[in-house]
Amino acid sequence: DWNAALGTQPLRVTGADIMPSSIYEVREFGSGCMGQEAMCCAVSAPLTLKTQRMGDIVAPFQLPIFPATQPNVSDIAAVVDKFKDVYTSPIVACCDMTPLVPDFRVDITDIAFVVDGFRYGVIGYHYFPSTCP
């Protein structure tokens, strides 16, 4: 029961295989399914999850429409605050953008990544001009 497990809290998933600006269907398999997932019937209904746009750290978040308006200067300020270890800043999982496999640290490269997203309209891991549909 995903709603009972998460309540109103967001589910934070990180890693090189998680793409920003994407939609995933997540299913829970019963413990007896291990090794035979393809034929197992003890599977939950799918939960649809949408990942944030890369560098979009704080609200308002980018809607799945164009033109892209996120990340913006508020996102840059949020990751700078995390770098400075400001108490009210977002959690590390939101601000740790680099390397692709998270190192659970926020440093200047994470700030640069969000700045690049702001400057160039980052979609996924590819750079496109912000005017691109």
pLDDT tens column, 88-116: 999 998 888 888 777 889 999 999 989 98
pLDDT for the residue numbered 110: 92
Distance CA 74, CA 99 (A): 22
Q: Which residue has the higher pLDDT, 1 or 24?
A: 24
Res. 21: pLDDT tops 70: yes
* Cβ-contact 24, 48 below 8 angstroms: yes
Q: What percent of the chain has pLDDT over 90?
A: 24
* Cβ-contact 42, 33 below 8 angstroms: yes
* Cβ-contact 96, 110 below 8 angstroms: yes
- Calculate mean pLDDT across residues 43-50: 86
- Report residue 3's pLDDT band, with 50, 70 and 90 as the boundaries: confident
pLDDT tens column, 58-83: 988 887 777 778 889 999 999 999 99
User: Of 58, 49, 50, 67, which is closest to residue 114 (Cα–Cα)?
Assistant: 58
